[in-house]
Structure 1
């Protein structure tokens, strides 16, 4: 695997659960903020943002369970890759570094982990930042008709274990590379080395990545449905920065998020899905603004 490191950061192997360790970059000093990556990436997507935040924060940047150089446990039951389990991982590694409370920023898959962490552990999450995703419950609700083809991979990886893994493994470099290309239409966000790193990392994690996505169509959805029925909400300051997917799929993202987060700031951005790498200064400013609301 092509190994890339965030310059100036120390790398740690942190205990998350019995038999599960997360590979994480740690740098800076001050109040802690944890940055969670999306698909099909690793912690390295945060490199430029993390360096900008390190002047005023202790920045913790892990590979999620099942991704990058973190543990990839076999899927013994639906909870192995539930967002509840993955969120508990993040709370545990922060504690291992001495932080019982921290800011949490997530992109894509990492944002779904962040939402679950904030719902399950409100005492630990000082503020929550979300990059370019909807909550699980709302994602499935807005995908209708032919426009849902933009999320075809969600349906593929939601299928029962076996066939999706075999299909993806057969063309794994092309499968993962297709998202890097489709969601970066200008082709200017990734160097060849970075693109190779993301593809190689994902190719070695097919089973766990599929398990992560399958959980979103099953156990994670059930958890969101239970929370909605119980009226549970995010109690901390929440900020969302996103492309305007709603104009294509016919929904109001700000309204959907506000149903979960009464203390919400919603900010559109003119950028592609990989906005932390395309516009790192804007994303760092977004995060520091959110952190200042909590200060």
Structure 2
């Protein structure tokens, strides 16, 4: 099975003096950047990217710390803050000649996309979010036994050392658990793609944990500052997610509307890996967003 996105070129692009990102780039037209989630790489967008490339320039990077992108050592909480990772993406697009672009993110990539929209509104024209809530709200809606669904958040929030050792000791089982548990259609992630996700995650345990650790610390601080200052996502925003509100007892649309006044909120019956399980639905949501 060819794991490359058909018709896309693969490049390494420096986003600062120390870090380069791997990105697949294809198509022509107005630019859109697609950010992957956990425990995946840019390949999760393979179906969606190929469709959008018919009339858009599509940029599909591996996030800092993931896939074939650089994995800098965690020298401070900012190394893997969503603020730093969002700046990576803005710089990546600029180096490809795009000062303004649409941005879509899934899971971890969605948190990076939200931070890019808050920190760089001049760069992000449209914002699509798949299956998360903002970092600050994520911790607020998890409580009691229901929080067990997010046990990995608490594990990887711990200080450096123990979580890395525990995960590395059974990396394929750990990352494979989420690939299996979070999909409603196992065939959506074929064996070769699943193996690539496992390989990439196995090689990046420390940086993946650092990414999650930042979301239990510095990322919350950044969100709290934005909430206190009334900083909002002013661009058109589309959110597509499973009905986590019903599952965890909160109003998901209201949570998002507090951050994004120009909001289109949609629920889906697909599993967490919706860009692979139902790419046609995600393409439609993105095209609807870009038409606003």
Structure 1 counterpart of 2:163: 164
Structure 2 counterpart of 1:269: 268
- Asked if the contact 2:239/2:265 (under 8 Å) is kept, the reply is yes
TM score, norm. by length of structure 2: 0.99
Deviations 1:102-148 (A, max 9, x none): 00000000000000000000000001000000000100000000010
Q: Which runs of 5+ in 1 are unaligned?
A: none
Deviations 1:167-195 (A, max 9, x none): 00000010000000000144222111111
Structure 2 counterpart of 1:235: 234
Structure 2 counterpart of 1:73: 72
User: Following the alignment from structure 1 to structure 2, what is the Cα–Cα distance between the partners of residues 97 and 255?
Assistant: 36
Structure 1 counterpart of 2:114: 115
Structure 2 counterpart of 1:13: 12
User: Following the alignment from structure 1 to structure 2, what is the Cα–Cα distance between the partners of residues 105 and 135?
Assistant: 14
**SS state at 1:17 partner:** coil
Deviations 1:15-68 (A, max 9, x none): 111110000000000110000000000000000000100011000000000000
Structure 2 counterpart of 1:208: 207
- Asked if the contact 1:3/1:197 (under 8 Å) is kept, the reply is no
Following TM superposition, by how much is the alpha carbon of 1:248 offset from its aligned partner in structure 2, in angstroms? 1.1
Note closer, same or farther for the CA distance 1:137–1:3 as it changes in structure 2 (3 Å cut).
farther
Structure 1 counterpart of 2:225: 226
Structure 2 counterpart of 1:4: 3
- Asked if the contact 1:10/1:26 (under 8 Å) is kept, the reply is yes
Deviations 1:206-246 (A, max 9, x none): 00000000000000011001111111111100010111011
1:64-143 to structure 2, matched below 5 A, reads 64-143=63-142
User: Following the alignment from structure 1 to structure 2, what is the Cα–Cα distance between the partners of residues 70 and 218?
Assistant: 23
TM score, norm. by length of structure 1: 0.98
- Asked if the contact 1:127/1:237 (under 8 Å) is kept, the reply is yes
- Tell me whether 186-195 or 247-256 shows the greater mean CA deviation: 186-195
- Tell me whether 35-44 or 7-16 shows the greater mean CA deviation: 7-16
User: Following the alignment from structure 1 to structure 2, what is the Cα–Cα distance between the partners of residues 129 and 254?
Assistant: 14
| Pairing 1:48–2:47 present | yes
Deviations 1:226-271 (A, max 9, x none): 1111111111000101110111100111000000000101011110
Q: Aligned pairs, how many?
A: 292
- RMSD, aligned α-carbons: 1.0
Structure 1 counterpart of 2:36: 37
Following TM superposition, by how much is the alpha carbon of 1:82 offset from its aligned partner in structure 2, in angstroms? 0.2
Structure 2 counterpart of 1:198: 197
- Asked if the contact 1:129/1:287 (under 8 Å) is kept, the reply is yes
Following TM superposition, by how much is the alpha carbon of 1:3 offset from its aligned partner in structure 2, in angstroms? 8.4
User: Following the alignment from structure 1 to structure 2, what is the Cα–Cα distance between the partners of residues 49 and 230?
Assistant: 36
In the TM superposition, structure 1's runs of 4+ consecutive aligned residues that sit over 3 Å from their partners are none
Q: Which runs of 5+ in 2 are unaligned?
A: none
| Pairing 1:150–2:121 present | no
User: Following the alignment from structure 2 to structure 1, what is the Cα–Cα distance between the partners of residues 277 and 196?
Assistant: 17
